[in-house]
Structure 1
Amino acid sequence: MTPAQRDDLMGTLTDIDERFSGSLHVSARSLNGTGAVELNSTAPVATASVIKIPILLTALRHAELGRIDLDRVSSPARDHGVQGSGILRLLRSDLQVTFEDLLVLMIATSDNIATNAVLAEIPGGVDEVNRMMDAVGLRRIRLRNPVDLDLIADDPELLGVAPVNQLRALMDAVQSRTAVSPWVSGRAEQILTTQLYLDQVTKFYKVNPYAAELAALAPLTVASKTGFVPGTRVDAGIVRWRTGGFVYACAAVGSLDESFASDAEPSLALADAGVALLEAFWTGPDIPLVPGAHRHV
């Protein structure tokens, strides 16, 4: 990224921030370290479900050390009932799944029952997740409680809080295989590719989530976790393509639009920011964006 390209990117992001009814927070960096951008990136924000990435890493570390059995079967809906996102609350309470299934459900469908079941198996629970973030040097990423919608209804920060620059640094550590250990980082990125809610930063990217199954070529891949609460959207991830890529963490906070629609203002603010990031970091001939991908906020 040239200085002129970075200036153009900052100008676009600043314009989105000014038009958005809340505040836009962006931290992004190219995988080769040749370009980076920061906007309001040091202010702490409610993480929403993006805090499930530290939970994932902590659980995988304990599995790597033999303290958690990924094949252990349980009935999480029976013991960890909680409302909100996910699929387990819609299924039979005696449904049995493995611990590894819980990790995938926690990311792919942002399943809250799976999340609390995972936390319950981690020795030390919430405190251990925060200790793991301390160990990787990201002391401002804080998990505060298991998922409890009644608890966080008036204050989403009671689930988790972090500045986007530290969330982006965490994704950078995952992609470089330095988050906790190479195995933990690699397995975490694999699980993050199962994310089904690609409706924020990568909303307008030409992502084919079925490319591997169909043996199809895909212009890029995304490994990410999104989160939402009324008026706020948060997204952190890794975008890769054959000749490059970037890591990012973005948040659109405090919107007057508190709906959960896919075209709610905070979702579109992040989508606009995502378009600007891909245009700035892309190193191939044709930027893989869907038609009509520009300026919605």
Structure 2
Amino acid sequence: MTDTPSRLRAVFADAGVTGWLHAVDIDTGAQVEAGADQPVCTASVHKLCLLVALHQEAAAGRLDLTEQVECPPVGRTPGPTGLAAMLDTARLSLRDAAYLMMAVSDNTAADLLLARVGLDTVNRCTARLGLTRTHAAHGFGEMLALMREDAGPDGARALADPHVITRLRALDPARTNRSTPRDMTRLLGAVWRDETGPPEHGAAMRRVMGLQVWPHRLAAGFPFDDVHVAGKTGTLPTLRNEVGVVEYPDGGRYAVAVFTRTDRTAAVLPAADAVIGTAARVAVDALRAAA
């Protein structure tokens, strides 16, 4: 695996991105890395931390996952999916809000859960798990509001300007929700080994991560019917991320975290999406070959 980091750097460069990756065999601890300790903006990847905190609160009896919450149409966190895109009052359980948060990255569902769990609880959860480089600075609605404020009067149109991009606090790991690739694979490994709480809660988290609908990033690197990929994406202007677990039919299971950034401000960059799967495949192949 000695040449794998250089191969990963070449893969990222070919796609026109800067990338950071950590991959680990969940059962043996063998690992591949390329900038694994780089501070990165998590964007919606941080919803995984919220999911784990939610289940730890439920396991401790401080909330019931079947508890119903009402979501009126006014004041919802913006977003293109789930409750964020719906027009009428909705009522659903906390666990169904968690499904929407993870499967379609629903920002409104995430902030409903965050209001119930609390930002401090999320940070205490990650600290207990030893994720020393991981911190939630704000909720998802607040993050989007900061972006609007930083973009100025031209709004979303300004995000095509590279000079505007440089002043967005949401793209600065020191001022937004942040982690490292290594911290994220440590969290994934803990979820898959049932180290975050009772097994039934681990199973529930793994289930909703396996229901994520986006096939164009991590899953794109493993186009096989018998290989299962469960993950969580994160996206902001110039940023494309995904963390997840790849499970093979022979029992091999690998936690992978890939974070990328590009100088290009276009919202649609297929190569930047696809390289997440390509890099993950390079890393997992290296781990399997060395086993």
TM norm structure 2? 0.84
Output the amino acid matched with 2:258: C
| SS of the residue 2:241 aligns to | strand
**Structure 2 unaligned residues grouped into runs of 5+:** 149-167
TM norm structure 1? 0.82
Output the amino acid matched with 2:226: P
Equivalence map 1:1-297=2 (5 Å): 6-33=1-28, 35-78=30-73, 81-122=76-117, 125-148=118-141, 149-152=144-147, 154-156=168-170, 157=173, 158-206=175-223, 218-243=225-250, 244-253=252-261, 255-261=262-268, 263=270, 265-282=271-288
| SS of the residue 2:265 aligns to | coil
Report if aligned partners of 2:222, 2:277 keep a CA contact under 8 Å in 1.
no
Report if aligned partners of 2:137, 2:177 keep a CA contact under 8 Å in 1.
yes
- Distance of aligned partners of 1:25 and 1:8 in 2 relative to their CA distance in 1, 3 Å threshold: same
Shift of the alpha carbon at 1:273? 0.5
Output the amino acid matched with 2:209: L
- Distance of aligned partners of 1:47 and 1:277 in 2 relative to their CA distance in 1, 3 Å threshold: same
1:204-260 CA-to-partner distances (Å, cap 9, x unmatched) read 3225xxxxxxxxxx311111101111111111111112211211111012x022223
| Separation (CA, whole Å) in 2 of partners of 1:144 and 1:152 | 14
1:10-38 CA-to-partner distances (Å, cap 9, x unmatched) read 23102124445442100001233263111
Shift of the alpha carbon at 1:201? 2.3
- Distance of aligned partners of 1:245 and 1:226 in 2 relative to their CA distance in 1, 3 Å threshold: same
Output the amino acid matched with 1:269: V
- Tell me the percent identity: 22
Report if aligned partners of 2:12, 2:279 keep a CA contact under 8 Å in 1.
no
| SS of the residue 1:70 aligns to | coil
Structure with greater helix share of residues: 2
**Structure 1 unaligned residues grouped into runs of 5+:** 1-5, 208-217, 284-297
- Return the structure number with greater relative CO, CA threshold 8 A, min gap 6: 2
- The number of residue pairs the alignment matches comes to 264
Q: Give the aligned CA root-mean-square deviation in angstroms.
A: 2.0
Report if aligned partners of 1:192, 1:223 keep a CA contact under 8 Å in 2.
yes
